[in-house]
């Protein structure tokens, strides 16, 4: 039996903050919570929900997770309603919120913002996405979902498609999959390929990966096709976005060549990179994926508050 890891009081800023054993433990607890809800686990605790950037799934699933465990939530969904509008710094804002709460979940458009928040807070900070950098709680729900639909994590083949340069979800996921001997296919136009820093790290770890420009060349090889949105908001030059915005559109026809058990995942929101017709195929798994965020985030809240 692996030693039980103590998460109490710890922040989660990057997926690299977690070891393989940590990840396995979070997924196991999330699975238990999915099967057996614990409506009073966090009675009396308060979560700060600080979203400086838009979100549907991350914010609402964290807030639901806290409330379904018996806890309460304060916070904001839009930075313009806070005293940041009057010039208050991120440091001061987080210091205040951590004084009112037991755990703080945050999303911010700037890379490194969550790490900075840990310096201001004496409560755990859970990073719900910092710019193009990291989205570790998304990665945990992605791993949970892969394990759920493929019945294993070890040795799976995963294609990541779309905006791999600015996509924080794929940065975190690629870094996590190195623990599980995955074979990775990175499908992107040259200008949006996976950053060199991550490719070099994968090479050092002996993880096999290859770079591709179209989905057709890899779709028959993979267990998971992980689609992502080309993110208009991350492009410094809007003309560059216009050139690539419709580069990948997954259609039901393209799935004819896929393995029967191949599943399509997407962190969502989608724009037009998955045709709605795909939703009705047995390959679609992105809505189940988003729902799993609830259980994984319940597990994280319970762990960092020392109740699991
Ligand atoms: N996957 C994800 O982060 O979605 P939201 O932007 O809606 O939170």
pLDDT, tens only, 53-94: 999 999 999 999 999 999 999 999 999 999 999 999 999 999
Of the candidate ranges 2-6, 110-114, 201-205, the one whose mean pLDDT is the lowest: 2-6
Using CA positions, which residue lies closest to atom 1 of ligand 1? 267
Sign of the torsion formed by the C-alpha atoms of 165, 118, 29 and 70: negative
Q: Please give the model's pTM, rounded to 2 decimal places.
A: 0.96
For all residues of the chain together, what is the average pLDDT? 96
Q: What pLDDT is recorded for position 1?
A: 45
55 CA distance to ligand 1 middle (Å): 5
Ligand 1: does its nearest atom lie under 6 Å from the Cβ of 58?
yes
Cis-peptide into 180, omega within 30 deg: no
Quick check: do 15-134+293-304 and 136-290 share a fold? yes
Sign of the torsion formed by the C-alpha atoms of 127, 129, 135 and 137: positive
Q: Which atom of ligand 1 is nearest to the CA of 267?
A: 1
Residue boundaries of the structural domains of the chain: 15-134+293-304, 136-290
Q: What pLDDT is recorded for position 4?
A: 65
* In the predicted structure, residue 3 carries a pLDDT above the cut 70: no
Domain covering 15-134+293-304: architecture: 3-Layer(aba) Sandwich (3.40)
Q: What pLDDT is recorded for position 207?
A: 96
Torsion of CA 245, 137, 105, 127, to 10 degrees: -70
In sequence order, what are the residues at sequence separation of 6 or more whose Cβ sits closer than 8 angstroms to the Cβ of residue 284?
263, 264, 274, 278
pLDDT tens digits, residue range 119-143? 999 999 999 999 999 999 999 999 9
Ligand 1: does its nearest atom lie under 6 Å from the Cβ of 267?
yes
* In the predicted structure, residue 188 carries a pLDDT above the cut 70: yes
| Catalytic site includes residue 171 | no
Q: DSSP states of 50-72 as a string?
A: EESS--SHHHHHHHHHHHHTT-E
Domain covering 136-290: architecture: 3-Layer(aba) Sandwich (3.40)
* In the predicted structure, residue 5 carries a pLDDT above the cut 80: no
Choosing from 68, 116, 135, 283, which is the catalytic residue? Answer: 135
| Catalytic site includes residue 221 | no
pLDDT tens digits, residue range 215-239? 999 999 999 999 999 988 889 889 8
* Residue indicated by tokens 């809007």: 238
Calculate mean pLDDT across residues 276-282. 98
């Amino acid at each position: 039996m692996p030693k039980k890891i103590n998460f109490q009081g710890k922040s989660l800023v990057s997926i690299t903050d977690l070891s393989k054993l940590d990840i396995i433990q979070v997924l196991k607890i999330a699975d238990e919570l999915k099967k057996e809800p614990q409506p009073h686990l966090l009675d009396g605790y308060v979560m700060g929900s600080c979203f400086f950037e838009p979100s549907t799934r991350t914010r609402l699933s964290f807030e639901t997770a806290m409330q379904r465990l018996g806890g309460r939530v304060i916070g904001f969904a839009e930075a313009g309603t806070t005293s940041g509008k009057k010039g208050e710094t991120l440091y001061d804002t987080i210091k205040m919120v951590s004084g009112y709460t037991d755990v703080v979940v945050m999303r911010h458009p700037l890379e490194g913002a969550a790490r900075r928040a840990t310096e201001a807070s004496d409560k755990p900070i859970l990073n719900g996405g910092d710019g193009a950098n990291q989205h570790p709680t998304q990665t945990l729900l992605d791993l949970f979902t892969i394990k759920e639909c493929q019945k294993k994590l070890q040795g799976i083949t995963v294609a990541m498609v779309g905006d791999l340069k600015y996509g924080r979800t794929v940065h975190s996921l690629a870094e996590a999959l190195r623990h599980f001997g995955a074979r990775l296919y990175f499908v992107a136009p040259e200008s949006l390929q996976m950053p060199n820093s991550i490719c070099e790290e994968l090479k050092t770890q002996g993880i096999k990966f290859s770079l591709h420009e179209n989905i057709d060349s890899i779709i028959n090889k993979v267990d998971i096709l992980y689609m992502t949105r080309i993110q208009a908001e991350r492009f410094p030059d809007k003309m560059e976005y216009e050139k690539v915005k419709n580069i990948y559109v997954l259609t039901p026809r393209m799935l004819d060549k896929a393995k029967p058990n191949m599943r399509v995942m997407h962190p969502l929101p989608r724009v037009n990179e998955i045709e709605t017709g795909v939703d009705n195929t047995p390959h679609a798994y992105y809505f189940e994926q988003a729902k799993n965020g609830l259980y994984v985030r319940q597990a994280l809240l319970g762990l960092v508050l020392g109740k699991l």
